Amino acid sequence: MPQVLAPPSPGALRACMARFTTGVTVVTFAGDDGPRGVTMNSFTSVSADPPLVLISVARRARSHDQLVDSPFCVNVLGAEQEPIARLFAGAAPGPTAPRWVPDAPVPRLHNPLAWVECRPWRSYDGGDHTLVLGRVTDLGHRDGDALTYAWSRFGTAPHSVDGIEHLI
């Protein structure tokens, strides 16, 4: 007989996920009134052939309906870009205004640590989120320390030249 498990409380799930360190991105796209962005840490690499990445968009986000059907760019933030992360997570605008790359085919931020431009490929029901697979159409990167998120706080991961690329 399959065991029926009681669902975990949202708080218990959040407490586990808070212990998982991620990078921080701003997903940008063309809105009706100009470029838009949403801070997201649900970004993950999925496939090399075809090149696919995944983002998870909250259904309650104002951007949801437009973003899930639009070309988008995942901007991976550097350590010094925490104010940008806060801004696109809904914080009141501070002294840091976002700078956009002029004339980019898909709106993207100036000088992220890495950027991955995508066309929407497939989307799936993810409960109170929509899972969007994007097919990569262009990308770029620079060196620098990374912005991280763990324990519900921003942090940093130093740039390292000694990676373990051979393991993955």
Ligand X SMILES: Cc1cc2nc3c(=O)[nH]c(=O)nc-3n(C[C@H](O)[C@H](O)[C@H](O)COP(=O)(O)O)c2cc1C
Minimum CB separation from ligand X for residue 49, in Å? 25
CB of 3 to ligand X, least distance (A): 31
Cα-based distances in Å from 8 to 11, 12, 32, 101, 110: 8, 6, 39, 43, 40
Q: How many binding residues for ligand X (CB under 6 A)?
A: 15
What part of residues 8-27 is at the interface with ligand X (CB under 6 A)? 24
Least spacing, CB of residue 39 vs ligand X, in Å: 4
N- to C-terminal Cα separation, the chain: 38
> Using CB under 6 A, which residues numbered 16 to 75 contact ligand X?
24, 38-42, 56-58, 61-63
Find the farthest-apart pair of alpha carbons in the chain and give their distance in angstroms, rounded.
60
The answer to whether 27 and 129 are in contact (CB under 8 A) is no
Contact between 90 and ligand X by CB under 6 A: the answer reads: yes
Q: Kindly tell me which of 62 and 122 has the beta carbon lying closer to ligand X.
A: 62
Pairing of strands 51-58, 129-141: antiparallel
Nearest-CA neighbor of 55 among 138, 117, 145?
A: 117
Our CB check for ligand X shows the closer of 4 and 106 to be: 106
Residue 62 Cβ vs ligand X, minimum distance, rounded to whole Å? 4
Asked whether 119 and 71 are in contact (CB, 8 A), the reply is yes
Q: Which is nearer to ligand X, 65 or 138 (CB)?
A: 65
Q: How many CB atoms lie within 10 A of CB 158?
A: 8
What string marks each residue from 91 to 110 as x (binds ligand X by CB under 6 A) or -? --------------------
Chain residues that interact with ligand X, rule: CB under 6 A: 24, 38-42, 56-58, 61-63, 89-90, 149
